[in-house]
Structure 1
Amino acid sequence: MNKQTNLPTPAESRGHYSVPEGYFDSLEERIMAKIPEETPEEEVAEAPRVSLWMRLRPIAYMAAMFVAMNLIFRAFAPKTAEDKSVATAQTEVSSEDEYANYYADYGERMTAVAGYDSYYNALLSDLGTMTNTSFTTTR
């Protein structure tokens, strides 16, 4: 832990950050010697021609997107009154036989309910006698 480090003296430290003498005097000439005197002019390449499809593709994609949105909206939108009236007009057409069958079924259900009523009345009368007897025995 108590290790002693040898730090350089200030004079030694300045030596690391110094530049050789006369370095900046000849720097410009050395850089200019590395650059060629005349640069050849490069031919500018023509931009490739853009086809008609490449220009119209974003517009076609946008049109397809709007068509898809319209179809999705129509699929999930509630039906209008005209659509509903057509559907109800078709369901209202019935024959006399259908009416007769409906009322026959209705009559059968009513007689079945009347049978249930008599059953429940019998149960209630039995329940009433049971409660009356229980009250009489406890008194």
Structure 2
Amino acid sequence: MKANSITKKYPPYGRRLDDLRRNGLVPGHRIVVSTDWKLGAAFPRIVIPADANIDQMIFAYLAGLSVQIVHHNGEEKIVKELIQKILEVKPKVLTVFNFDVAQQNDPRFSASTLIHPAWEVINHGF
């Protein structure tokens, strides 16, 4: 192996999800990509540690699945990086959910944002 090569790694729970996909299993629910160990524990999920290098993580097992990134306020940088990397593997659906906005329970603000497919695609059919 070359000294300057980059080894990609699975985020926590990512290898298990990849193994299940390789065995032909597909989750019945969306996959949560969480920025906090406490968020999304009721769903199949992967956890992205705060110090994670997103460019060095493996996300291929998310291809064709419904994926939801769940995060807190102030994590815009990592959320943008996750959106970019997850879109590269072509998920069926990608949404972003801000847990803190949801906790405020203010009807003026939506905690959830649809990233992919675009609303125009949904509205006019695939």
Q: TM over 0.5: same fold? A: no
Category of TM-score, reference length = shorter chain:
under 0.3
Q: Give the structure with the larger helix fraction.
A: 1
Which structure has more relative contact order (CA 8 Å, sep 6+)? It is 2
Higher-Rg structure is: 1
Q: Give the structure with the larger strand fraction.
A: 2
